[in-house]
Each structure stands twice: as C-alpha cells, then as structure tokens.
Amino acid sequence: MGKTRIVIVDDHPLFRQGVADSLSLEDDFDIVGQAESGESAMEIIRELKPDVTVLDVNLPGMNGQQITRLIVAEKINTRVILLTAYDDTEQVIHSMRAGAYAYCSKDIKPEFLVEIIRSVNDGKYFIQRREFEKIALDEWLVEQTENTARPYSDPGEPFHPLSSREMEVLECVTLGMSNKEIASNLGISHQTVKNHVTAVLRKLNVEDRTQAAVYALRRGWVRLYEQDSE
C-alpha cells in the first residue's frame, strides 16, 4: 500500500511547519503540499488531490468550512480534517454537515492526530476523540441539533407551509450548501436563491440558516444521509 498523501493548510507558518515536521516522522505519510490561505489551498488541492487535507478553520479568504464545501461540490477525492482553536458544538455541526471527516482542537497531541489521519483515510469520522461510522455520525448530528436548538414558536402558532421550491432550497441549506452551490444545483439564479432563503427564514420564524436546518431536521423533513443514497 502506498503512502497517505497529505496537504496541510494553516496561516501561521510556525504551527503549519510544526504539524508538517511531526507528520513527516511517520513512514506511511507523505506531506505533498502546504498552503496559508483558502485560495492557495484550493489550488494545491485541485492540483495534487491529496488523500487527506489537514485544514485550519479560520483562514484568510475562504474559511475551512467553505473550502470543505467546495471540495465536496467539485467531487475532489480528499478527506478533510478541520483544526480549530474554537471548539463549540454549533461549529462542529456546521463543519461535519459541510463534509468534513474530522473536527479537532488545535491543542491535539501529535500522536493522536496521526491516529485520526489513518482512521479518516480508512473512511472513519472523528469529533475530538470520538470515532464514528457514517450512520452513527448522522444520528449524532441530529441529536446535537435538537439539543442546541432554541424553541422556534409557541404551540398554538399556525404553520406556514413552504413551496416545493422552498423545500428544495431548505434541503440544500441543511446539507451545508452555499447560495452559489444551491443555484448551480437547482439551475436557478443566485438572487433567486437569496429570495427563497429569506422566505424560508421568515416562514419558519428562524433567524439564520443553521436554525432553519435544525428546524427541518427536528421535524424529519430532511435526513442527513439521503445524499449518500442517491
């Protein structure tokens, strides 16, 4: 079996080089590239198509979640491990829905990052120190969205049904897609997507896209694993 080809992306040179040096000690790893911004990361990832990308969440230009969504949209066969200095459940939900395979704090020990890279390369998912299979991850995400969601409406409040197009847009939002990706996927304009998203937020009485996604998941309108069965 060949070596696992890895790209490392972080805007702090000392941290980035430290990760590279640490991973280079492993005989089965090959550090094929490094980048310091979202745009340069995408150029390298498109060109080299590494097995695994170790990616900082907070980057100049595109952030780690946006890069992850773009990798998924372009069907680039690299598995993303996101590193962050800010560990909160909402960001985990965003990141894993975007298509990341792992979400870890930047204070992770080198030996555990090595273990995560090997597991991710074998198709496993990680949130901090917990390993998941795909279906278990989807179940965890639904559970977490329910636990972190605020109440959306009073029990007696009338429900305003969405149009079929608004439901399609909501499904895309729940899968972590950007407006541009939704426009391309549904064959409509970027402005039309923005109009539909605004209408969805108003009708569901929620403040942002994350809350709209939580609303849909709690009611079983969208299942996170449907995209893999298509």
Are the CB atoms for 53 and 45 separated by under 8 Å?
yes
pLDDT number for residue 167: 84
Whether pLDDT at 97 is above 50:
yes
Are the CB atoms for 64 and 91 separated by under 8 Å?
no
Give the domain 152-229 fold. Arc Repressor Mutant, subunit A (1.10.10)
> pTM, whole model, 2 decimals?
0.66
Of the chain, the percentage scoring pLDDT greater than 70 comes to 86
Range list of H helices, 125-221: 134-148, 164-174, 179-186, 190-204, 209-218
**CA dist., res. 92 & res. 147, Å (int):** 13
The domain limits of the chain are 4-143, 152-229
Average pLDDT score over residue span 170-176: 89
Better pLDDT: 226 or 118 = 118
Beta partners for 105? 84
pLDDT (tens digit per residue) in 178-219: 999 999 999 999 999 999 999 899 888 888 998 888 877 776
How many residues comprise the chain?
230
Residue type, 90: E
**CA dist., res. 180 & res. 25, Å (int):** 40
**CA dist., res. 220 & res. 51, Å (int):** 34
Please, what sign has the CA dihedral across residues 58, 64, 67, 73? Answer: negative
Both tokens of 116, joined, read 């995560």
Give the domain 4-143 fold. Rossmann fold (3.40.50)
Q: What is the largest CA-CA distance in the chain?
A: 62
Both tokens of 95, joined, read 């990141």
Whether pLDDT at 82 is above 70:
yes
Q: Which residues contact 158 (CB under 8 A, 6 or more apart)?
A: none
The dihedrals phi and psi of 184, each to the nearest 5 degrees, come to -65, -40
